[in-house]
Each structure stands twice: as C-alpha cells, then as structure tokens.
Amino acid sequence: MKLYKLTATLLFTSIILSGCTNSKNSEIHEDDEQINPDAVVFTKNQQQKTDFAVENVGIEPFYTIIRTAAQVLPSQGDEKIITAKAGGTVVFSADFAVAGKAVKAGQYLFSIESGGLADNNFSIRYAEAENEYNRAKKEYERKLDLEKDKIVSKQDLIKAQTEYKNAESVYNNLHKNFSNGKQIITSPISGFITKMQVRNGEYVETGQPVLIISQNSDLFIKAELSPKYFSSLSGITSANIHVMNTNKVYSLEDLNGKVLSFGKSADVNNPLIPVIFQVNNNIGLLSGSIVELYIKMQTDRQTIIVPNEAIIEEMGNYFVFVELTPETFEKRAVIKGTTDGLRSEINKGLSAGERIVSKGAILIKLAQSSEKLDIHSGHSH
C-alpha cells in the first residue's frame, strides 16, 4: 500500500513538472513569434477604403538635380500688345477697364477720340480719306469709259487706277476701325487683359501701347543659374515644377513641355546663365509668378528611390513604413538624399527588395497613435 502511494505521488509530480516545462516552452514560442512592438496594424479593409499603395524598393538611376527658383513668363505669340492706331484720347469700354478681364477675339476694347484736337484729328483724317477715295474712284471710272472710245491713253488709265487703289486702301484701313467719329479698337485674340498701360481719358500718341492681352496657354519658365553649372547644361533632360504654396508638383512631360534654350554666355551686369523651358499651361499657372524648379541632369548614378509621399518627417528626422505582413508595417528611420520634387533618394535605412508604403503613409502614422499592436494581426484567417 505504501508502494502504491509513492508511485502515485511520483506520477503526479511528473505531470506537474511536465506542465511547467510545456508552459515555459509555449512562452518561448510566443516570444519568438512576437512582432516588432513599433509595428502598426492597418487592415486590408482599411486599405481598401483609402488611397493606399505599397511598392517594392529597388535600385534605379537617379538624376543629378539643380534646385532653383524660376519665373513664369508669357511666350512669344501668347501675348499681344494693343497699340493706338492714331493719336487721341483713350476711352475704355466700361466692361473692360480692369486687368484680369476675359476678352474674345474681335471684342470691343476701347476707342480713341480726337474730335477736339487741333492737330492729328482722326475725324478730319477719316473725312479726307473718304473724300479722296470717292474722287479717285470717280476719276478712274470716268477714264475707264473714255478708254473705250480711245479718248484717253493707256498710261493715263493706269495712273488713275493706281490712285484709286491707293485711296481705297487708306480709306478701308480707317473705315474698319472708325465709327461715330472715333477710332474703335477690338481684341485680335481671345485671352485675358494682363496689364493696362494708360488710364481712361489719357492722351496717347500713334503706336503707343494701351494694354496687353495674354492667352495664358503657352508659357516660358525661366531660371537663372550660377556659371558653375555651365558645363553641365547641355545634359539637361527634363524638370519638375513645384507650384509655390501648394503641394502640387508637375513633370515637364505632364505639361507637354520641353527644354527651349540655355545661355551660352554671361552678361557683365548679370553673370547668371538663363535656362528656359516652354510648357503648355493646362494647370492654371499664373504669368509672372514664381515656381520652384528641379532641373534634371543626365547621370550614371544608381540609388534607392522612393516617392516623396512615402516619407514622413518628424522634427527633422525622416521615416518610411516598411511592410512586415500585408496588414502590419514597421516605422523605419531613413536618411534622405536629393529629391526631384516627386521622388527622393534614400542613402541609408532601406534595402533593395523591401516593400514600403508608397501612398497613405500619413494614414499609417495616424493609426500608430490610435491603435495597439495585436500579435495575431497581420495574418490572413
């Protein structure tokens, strides 16, 4: 009986010890499966409801970048300077007396009145031109009839015809822009009034600029670079344009643009070298405004590149979110290099082949501050 009790006691002790051992082994196993405590859960359901994407990190060629400010300017042909066809007083249309107003081709802009002027009176010039036209026409028609009866020579007829045609040209030129005793000026193109050169009621001379109209469709973007870049300017391939005070960045290709020219010499008064791009203004750029320009130069350099949207900045430090599982992401510190406005090189912190959050990194950051990691999250069930 004593032997039976001893055997039972030993067996019970063995079970207890075995249970403890299994418990410790289970704890070790769970520790092995624990995910980085800095990881963040962002479920597939959350991803599908937002603008979210991940992409593989790879080593790619990256341009040498020149970052500079540039000015938006109207291109040749995009802007028209409207001048006075005769001297007189400018009277603007009430609807078009301000800069920024849209106009259509052929639309009335202003008139020039010279009725009260002793000299250079347009009304008098118009009347003289009309009288000369009528006189020359009648004289030509008279000699044309006489020529049928051989009463006038061929030479006299040709002379009369020339005087008639000249008088007709002068009269028609004045007549098409003259109405009710004043010269009428219309817009040659559709566009916007960008600048008023004179005030309403001001006297202007013949040929004096009155206002400027721009179509604002084809524009120049002009940067001025240090002469140290001169030897590299022939290697310009493209550029990215950052519209100031926004987060919008456009490639030259987005705007159907091209490298137009760069300076081959520097001026004594301005040693900077101009570089000019031409773009199609399909994004509403404002002529005269300043943009940030990332000029791309040819290079053989290979490096890791990520979208700027993938990078989170915190107090001067940069981070990306690396995918651990389809639903868990690790916040990783990186050292950022050069940017072209859209993508940046990563000098340290990432390896080729890793997957990062390329869109929606800010959402992961928000999730990090509101959720705790479940060690079983991130696995599909």
Transcribe 193-244 into DSSP letters. Answer: EEEE-S-TT-EE-TT-EEEEEE--SEEEEEEEE-GGGGGGGGGEEEEEEEET
Mean pLDDT: which of 57-66, 104-113, 371-380 is highest?
Answer: 57-66
pTM of the entire predicted model: 0.65
Query: Which region among 78-82, 154-158, 170-174, 257-261 has the lowest average model confidence (pLDDT)?
Result: 170-174
Which run of H or E residues covers position 145? helix 122-148
pLDDT tens digit string along 159-209?
Answer: 888 988 888 888 887 776 666 667 788 888 888 888 888 888 888 888 899
Paired tokens of 33: 């499966």
Domains and CATH numbers, the chain: 36-62+302-370 (2.40.420.20), 65-75+217-297 (2.40.30.170), 79-114+182-214 (2.40.50.100), 116-180 (1.10.287)
pLDDT tens digit string along 208-219?
Answer: 999 988 888 889
CA pair distance 33, 328, nearest whole angstrom: 14
